[in-house]
Chain A
Amino acid sequence: MSLRRLSLQVCALSIVLLSSACLAVAQEGGDAEGESLTVSARLEAVEATAEAAALAGHNAWMLTSTALVLFMTVPGLAMFYSGLVRKKNVLSVMMQCLFLMGVMTVVWALWGYSLAFGGDHPYVGNGDYLFMQNVQQSWDDTANAPELPMEGAIPRLTHMLFQGMFFIITPALICGAFAERMKFSTMTVFMILWGTFVYCPLCHWVWDGGILAFVKTGAEGPGVAGGALDFAGGTVVHISSGVSALICALLIGRRLGFGTEDLRPHNLTYTVLGTGMLWVGWFGFNAGSELASDGLTSSAFAVTHFSAAAGTIAWAGTEWLTRGKPSLLGAASGAVAGLVCITPAAGFVQPMPAILMGLAGGIVCFIACGTIKAKFGYDDSLDAFGIHGIGGTLGAVLTGVFATRACWDIDNGQKLGLIEGETRVFVGQLVAVGITWIFAIVATFVLLKVLDVTMGLRVSQQDENKGLDLSQHGEEGYIFS
């Protein structure tokens, strides 16, 4: 008695059960003849049932992922960042994260999603999805029923929500660069403009068939140099926000007292709690970027976790070796660096390369935040550039090294990364990184210059000394009485 025969029997039995169940449903549905349904009608019913079951699975995972990614901004990033500032500015950082959650969501619903995912123009999205038309359910007169627009395996509503969470966290990441000194009003306007003119085009270029989208071998497409592999946002999210953060830090200038006053983080316990929330949320971010629930989702989940773990060890371990003590802030920063580094690669690399990528991310970002920042003297207050800009760039490049068709056969069986002996993906990654850097630098520079002249970027010296909590929001973070 072989296992195979047994499973055949089970299969046959379930088909019989399933079809009789469908038959029952069909009869209840008002089949006047009552007696026999044609085979094709039965097949149709079986297919419909299977489709509904698959949709339920995919959609459940994607809605979960969507919620996980929202959780990354507040409380995740809000705690991670607010622990790193002085206590007079703790609320200002949390407020930036929370307020952006509101502002960016509304922008996304009104025009952001349409600009990012509408149409297939190589440079910009179109107006197909403005105000959620063709995204929300609509009434279908011919079918005499509500119609749900789909995007791949999931409802377009789910796709819009999931991608909308990226639209929130990406600008929120930039807040790390200008923490403790930027005017709140200017910050709000800047983020609306940045989201519209930097994030939406980039997102369209990479994920909606634009000039950075991956082009299959032998196929026609707008992707420059064959386009890039970016599974969950190495270029779109991390390079764009990190590089823009650097421009912010340079144009806004250093905090008062930089290098002379005590600017130590006021509460690292927050930062660690935030790190844990980011790590968990990142499972939704990366594994959710499969936009379905299947084998590759598990692969992306695994490499995300491994890279974060390796990053934690790498950063704290480097401190341990070079300075004698592993710091908690180092471990937290390393975890995030590992997560950033694996983001573009999540759907393309295997677990062991993921550990290498995490180690590399931890060590390289450690150097970027310590040595390089000190050498150039810019005040990227919470290291948005050092971790997201540098880590994202490293991750995008390493994706070209470690990508394998064994994870995602995106190119019809063609080899992908250097590790498989293919160079074209690697070249495409380098070109995409270059384009993203240049675009983010130029666009952010122009936006900030315009805002500097019109609104002013910085709070007054008096307000900065008082702290942004009081001067911008009229509240204090800690009243223990």
Chain B
Amino acid sequence: MKKIEAVVRHFKLEDVKNALTDQGIHGMTVAEVRGFGRQKGHTEMYRGTEYAVDFVPKVKVEVVCSDANLNTVIETILKTAQTGQIGDGKIFVTNLEESIRIRTGEKGEEAL
């Protein structure tokens, strides 16, 4: 099993979700996050005082899938979240040891 964490733009979340669902991905976890990469932050001005805002708001999508589905998931996210501009985000993949459905106690890919 793999865990895919994709940091994407807010307005792409809906597209990513719909595309993944179409590919048979049945669940995901989403969180509001802030961070920075190559995309520079911006400045804000309050009554003449300037503040540099380095952490840019993004949304993080967590998906767990079988090894076989990994490429499909990555392709799908790439295709839907991409705008070509700096700030599109990143995808991180890690190996996942176990997953368990709490209601039934099922384990492994059965629990996805």
Contacts and interface: CB of A to CB of B under 8 A. Distances in A.
Contact of B46 (A264, A366, A374): A264
B31 interface: no
Contact size range, A: 10 to 19
Contact of B45 (A263, A327, A386): A327
Interface in B44-100: 44-49, 51, 53
A16 to B, nearest CB: 64
Nearest to A372: B48
A338 B51 CA distance: 26
Interface-central residue, B45, B46, B48, B51, by most chain A CB under 10 Å: B48
B44 A264 contact: yes
A371 B48 CA distance: 7
Interface of B: 44-49, 51, 53
Interface string A372-387: 0110000000010010
Contacts, number: 28
A374 B48 contact: yes
A370 B49 contact: yes
Contacts of A327: 45-46
7 contacts: A263-B51, A264-B44, A319-B45, A327-B45, A327-B46, A370-B49, A374-B49
B45 A323 contact: yes
Contacts of A366: 48
A323 B46 CA distance: 12
A366 B46 CA distance: 11
Contacts of B51: 262-264
B47 A369 contact: yes
Interface in A323-375: 323, 325, 327, 329-330, 333, 366, 369-371, 373-374
A264 B53 CA distance: 10
Given A263-B51, A369-B47, A383-B47, 13 more contacts: A262-B51, A262-B53, A264-B44, A264-B46, A265-B46, A325-B45, A329-B47, A333-B47, A366-B48, A369-B48, A370-B49, A374-B48, A386-B47
Contacts of A374: 48-49
A374 B48 CA distance: 8
Closest 10 CB pairs of A and B: A370-B48, A369-B47, A264-B51, A369-B48, A329-B46, A265-B46, A264-B46, A329-B47, A333-B47, A383-B47
A366 B49 CA distance: 11
A333 B46 CA distance: 11
Contacts of A263: 51
A325 B46 CA distance: 12
Contacts of A383: 47
Contacts of B53: 262
